[in-house]
């Protein structure tokens, strides 16, 4: 069903019109219970959305969308292993990857996937134990000190983000590096500090055909073979892929290949063997805790009503901001250095999933889908782009994430971090009127002329909506639940927008054109069909 034809959608459009007359500071002044009615807890988490431009009546309408779009029905389809990724004819069963053994089967095409999932986890665990126990030796008999994960997109961003997020849990004697970019500067700078004798590469690629990863893998192989000879490859390369035939062709021993399945989307694959570098970085017990946290969020998502459903609430608020208030972006602002890569990770998860223009019936959509997601760890962002959020005149819904407890307990830091985080959402909500600013400047002793000059610059419109997610502490369990929260948020949005969040055809066209251009750049083809700009750029490179 087209989202904008729901009666609820029309009612929300009217509510949005009415909300234009309201300012968040007036909403808070009018209702001292606002925080109590517009915040929700889950275990020891707190989601405060009282600084969003909603009323309880708006929320009731948004909860209605959950039902009219049949979110519960789509959850059931996902759990039943139906091919909800219809344009690729695939199921989306990442929930199986973090399901504990006792929780029962998950069926795909009539077969329980759980035995294979659990067996692959056990294989990963044995491998991690070998590396950590220094039983796995390189070709010269030395233990491994450095792991280099070579992958891109979903085969990079998840474990990279989580390795940084769980820095407090890192194994002391093993360093995990990540290489993704096709630009040789990425691999070259990582290799510059490493010794082939003690380095192990993980080639991570669902398809094992991705140009960036294959080029980096070939260059890494060359670096190793030059130093240690061809026979060393087996002791220094392992792979993670769904395409085990290609892995074998690359020369990696099938015993050292970790499998996953076509029902796992790349950007939903952190929980599979794609998480191997993370498991090596933080240990397998912590990796299992990550899975347990994600599973706990799955259970919450499957059972909680929309009024209390964290992924559901985040999705409904984003739909309100995007489709009814007209926001075209969302700033993700983790007040956590360790979550510094979360905005990048969520860019892929959210924008590759829901950046779509055609609905599940192949018809053009008449409503906006995923907003542009951007952001940076606080407080760094405060000294960079917050000026625009405060006074740039754009609608920028903000999402603050902060932990009650620090993951690195240095005296004096965490209280200041909390104060900055809460102060920002307060300032964005409240703003400061010209009259307030004038009174403050007069009280500070300025002359009337100075006050008149400066007051407009020092006033803030406020009314900038935000959500704050307060977490207990950044540990593997919490991180797992946090990532699963966003996966399910994306899913709820896709159901309401009536789009497929599990394909990514938009990425393919650029890959096709790059393959067509490569022979022109290396000079084995002429490129007569090129437009004048592309032809001019190629010619300029070839002449230089």
Catalytic residue positions, numbered: 352, 383, 511
Q: How far is the CB of 154 from ligand F6P (least distance, A)?
A: 3
Q: Based on the shown chain and the rule CB under 6 A, indicate whether residue 504 belongs to the binding site for ligand F6P.
A: yes
Considering only 43-51, 147-155, 360-368, 403-411, which stretch makes contact with ligand F6P by CB under 6 A?
147-155
> Among residues 207, 215, 219, 534, which is the contact residue for ligand F6P, using CB under 6 A?
207
Contact status: 213 vs ligand F6P (CB under 6 A): yes
Nearer to ligand F6P, 198 or 215 (CB): 215
Burial 524-534 (b: 16+ CB within 10 A, else e): eeeeeebeeee
Size of the site for ligand F6P (CB under 6 A): 14
The token pair that represents 271 in the structure block: 């929980």
Judged by CB under 6 A, the residue of 55, 85, 164, 205 near ligand F6P is 205
Instruction: Considering the complex, state which of residue 55 and residue 155 has its C-beta at the smaller distance from ligand F6P.
Output: 155
Distance of alpha carbon 95 from alpha carbon 263, whole angstroms: 10
Burial class (CB in 10 A: 0-12, 13-18, 19+), 69: buried
> Could you give the CA distance from residue 516 to residue 519 in angstroms, rounded to a whole number?
7
277 beta partners = none
From the CB of 47, what's the least distance to ligand F6P, in Å? 28
* Per-residue interface string for the shown chain with ligand F6P, residues 332-371, x marking contact by CB under 6 A: --------------------x-------------------
Q: How far is the CB of 509 from ligand F6P (least distance, A)?
A: 11
Candidates 56-64, 174-182, 199-207, 311-319; binding stretch for ligand F6P (CB under 6 A): 199-207
| Least CB distance to ligand F6P at residue 338 (A) | 23
Please state, in angstroms and rounded to a whole number, the distance separating the CA atoms of residues 69 and 6: 9
Q: Among 81, 85, 1, 72, which Cα is nearest to 361's? A: 1
Give 224-268 as a DSSP string.
HHHHH-GGGHHHHEEEEES-HHHHHHHT--GGGEEE--TTS-GGG
SS3 per residue for 397-455: CEEEEEECCCCCCCCCCHHHHHHHHHHHHHHHHHCECHHHHHHHHHHCCCCHHHHHHHC
**Stretch touching ligand F6P by CB under 6 A, among 153-161, 223-231, 432-440, 532-540:** 153-161
Q: Which of 507, 513, 525, 539 binds ligand F6P (CB under 6 A)?
A: 507
For ligand F6P, the closer of residues 204 and 520 by Cβ is 204
Integer angstrom CA distances of residue 177 from 200, 288, 297, 339: 10, 21, 29, 17
Burial of 415 by CB count in 10 Å (0-12 exposed, 13-18 middle, 19+ buried)? exposed
For ligand F6P, the closer CB: 419 or 507:
507
Q: Which of 153, 196, 277, 334 binds ligand F6P (CB under 6 A)?
A: 153
Closest CA to 378 of 424, 429, 428, 346: 424
Q: How far is the CB of 437 from ligand F6P (least distance, A)?
A: 47
Least distance from C-beta 224 to ligand F6P, angstroms? 21
- Angle at CA 292, nearest 5°, toward 290 and 298? 110
Q: Give the 3-state secondary structure of residue 81.
A: coil
- 75, 91, 144, 152: which one binds ligand F6P (CB under 6 A): 152
Among 23, 132, 206, 430, binds ligand F6P (CB under 6 A): 206
Q: How far is the CB of 210 from ligand F6P (least distance, A)?
A: 3
Dist. CA 127–CA 280, nearest whole Å: 9
- Asked if 154 touches ligand F6P (CB under 6 A), the answer is yes
Interacting residue ranges for ligand F6P, rule: CB under 6 A: 152-155, 205-207, 210, 213, 266-267, 352, 504, 507
């Amino acid at each position: 069903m087209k989202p904008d034809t729901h009666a609820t959608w029309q009612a929300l459009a009217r509510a949005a019109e009415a909300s234009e007359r309201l300012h968040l500071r007036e909403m808070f002044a009018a209702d001292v219970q606002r925080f109590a009615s517009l915040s929700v807890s889950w275990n020891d988490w707190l989601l405060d959305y009282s600084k969003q431009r909603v009323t309880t009546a708006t929320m009731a309408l948004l909860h209605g969308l959950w039902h009219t779009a049949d979110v519960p029905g789509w959850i059931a389809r996902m759990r039943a292993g139906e091919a909800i990724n219809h344009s690729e004819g695939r199921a989306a069963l990442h929930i199986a990857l973090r399901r504990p053994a006792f929780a029962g089967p998950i069926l795909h095409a009539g077969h329980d996937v759980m035995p294979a999932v659990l067996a692959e986890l056990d294989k990963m665990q044995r491998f991690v134990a070998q590396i950590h126990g220094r039983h796995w030796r390189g070709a010269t008999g030395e233990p491994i000190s450095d792991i280099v994960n070579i992958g891109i997109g979903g085969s990079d961003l998840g474990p990279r983000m989580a390795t940084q997020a769980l820095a407090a849990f890192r194994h002391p004697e093993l360093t995990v590096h990540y290489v993704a970019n096709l630009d040789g500067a990425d691999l070259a700078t990582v290799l510059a500090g490493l010794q082939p004798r003690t380095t192990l590469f993980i080639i991570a690629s669902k398809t094992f055909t991705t140009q960036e990863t294959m080029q980096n893998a070939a260059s890494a192989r060359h670096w190793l073979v030059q130093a240690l000879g061809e026979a060393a490859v087996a002791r220094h390369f392992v792979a993670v892929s769904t395409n085990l035939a290609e892995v074998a062709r690359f020369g990696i021993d099938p015993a050292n290949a970790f499998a996953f399945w076509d029902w796992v989307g790349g950007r939903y694959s952190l929980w599979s063997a794609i998480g191997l570098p993370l498991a090596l970085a933080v240990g397998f017990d912590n990796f299992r805790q990550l899975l347990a946290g994600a599973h706990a969020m799955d259970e919450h998502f499957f059972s909680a009503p929309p009024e209390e459903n964290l992924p559901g609430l985040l999705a409904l608020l984003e739909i309100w901001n995007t489709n009814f208030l007209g926001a075209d972006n969302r700033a993700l602002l983790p007040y956590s250095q360790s979550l510094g890569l979360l905005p990048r990770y969520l860019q892929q998860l959210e924008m590759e999933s829901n950046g779509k223009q055609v609905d599940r019936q192949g018809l053009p959509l008449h409503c906006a889908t995923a907003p542009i997601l951007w952001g940076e760890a606080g407080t760094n962002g405060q000294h960079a782009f917050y000026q625009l959020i405060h006074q740039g005149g754009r609608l920028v819904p903000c999402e603050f994430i902060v932990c009650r407890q620090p993951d690195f307990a240095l005296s004096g830091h965490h209280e200041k971090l909390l104060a900055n985080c809460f102060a920002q959402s307060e300032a964005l909500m409240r703003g400061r009127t010209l009259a307030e600013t004038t009174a403050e400047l007069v009280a500070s002793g300025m002359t009337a002329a100075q006050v008149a000059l400066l007051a407009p610059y020092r006033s803030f419109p406020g009314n900038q909506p935000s959500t704050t997610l307060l977490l207990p502490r950044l540990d593997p369990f919490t991180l797992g639940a946090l990532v699963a929260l966003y996966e399910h948020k994306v899913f709820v949005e896709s159901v309401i927008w009536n789009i497929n969040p599990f394909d990514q055809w938009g990425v393919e066209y650029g890959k096709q054109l790059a393959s067509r251009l490569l022979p022109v750049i290396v000079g084995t083809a002429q490129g007569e069909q090129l437009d004048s700009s592309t032809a001019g750029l190629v010619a300029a490179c070839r002449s230089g």
